[in-house]
Structure 1
């Protein structure tokens, strides 16, 4: 099968989105800033994320004795570029968006990963409208399928690779539809706007628990292989003492309310090598990271 046009289109779209946000020069690198800017991945509604992050902001301000600014960018590419150009000091990335950020800014450091049910991994869930035309993976062929942001791991990279392994190639066997956020995918499938889509299973369960979506209107048609959980990252140019304090603040975090906002039970140490599996997946899909710079 010839996937070159589809793959090239994906790469061009990611590059264009990133370029739209890019400043001409990086901000001055301050190794010991009075204010730490903490960016959260825009995988849900921004207002909800910021509201849920207030306890985190208070905890970090007290623990690190600094002013804390919580930032939610407009999309994944904007967050990648903000990290690349020194507009944030700490970033909570998705796995693939971290890989993209690392390819553009090699100095950033992944230092902690969320742990849920004792594991630093999670899954992507593939769902369909309960009374719609898609009842199984085979039914996806010939229909639209909804993904989140193009740089999302569990709402694009992982489920897209999962579909390829099951003989379904985007824009060849089904129409690719990008809806930006995980909750956007869930709502669109629930409302029958698209017959099927994929998102983080963690986010899906949280949306059900909050009553944001009605699980009775949806069916599960697939579950991806385990994915490395979201990494916490920081700028490599920060002072060593500050970096250690940041690392300890998250690894020692026990507050259940704050951890719930991350949808994890705690944080464990991690490093860049833990995300090589996503680089391999991107290679399988022919997403050439070097060309995304």
Structure 2
């Protein structure tokens, strides 16, 4: 156990992707992280804007996108194309040898189409398997993988997949080989007691405090799936999880939230 190499897995949210100067700064910071690393990105508002520009009306249920065939075409084009390749190109400019992937590439992440008793999510995937041997080979040859939020079902169908979940599943899979730190980076400095007050960072959350915060309704609804993912990852071998603004990687005084069991 003690001989595992460390690896950093970072997931960036839409508000970083939607802001070109913020994204540029994040990718500069990410490039300075030493050792092995993996980046997972969401889609930001670009897919919604593109969909609206061609007359599609995005549908959301409980914060999750319903992905019909037309919307799937848009998210594949934006996530796996425009956003992913833009990030890879910027990382190359920062001397990080990145390669962009969907789950279909090299059969890296296989999913199954979500089967929900009452809601048809359309072409939405739930992760089933990560191709650990290939991922390990890529990482050991000095490649920094950059994953978009698209997977496949091994039957020829691409599937839109939650980026937080992809980051979590990659972290769980790689924890068999590496000492994994999983970080969720977004526009806030961490999980906040008061969503309007950026200084109210909760610096550490364990399961007992999480239950209490949920009971008090102190945690914003959008944060609950993220934290559920975190505790699931920790229970399955991930060593450390951080949530906060990307400045936490280069600024030793920056506040952030650490999630522990």
Which category of TM-score, normalised to the shorter sequence, fits these structures?
under 0.3
Structure 1 length-normalised TM: 0.25
Q: Which has the higher contact order (CA 8 A, sep 6+)?
A: 1
Task: Compute the TM-score of the two structures, normalised by the length of structure 2.
Answer: 0.27
Higher helix share: 1
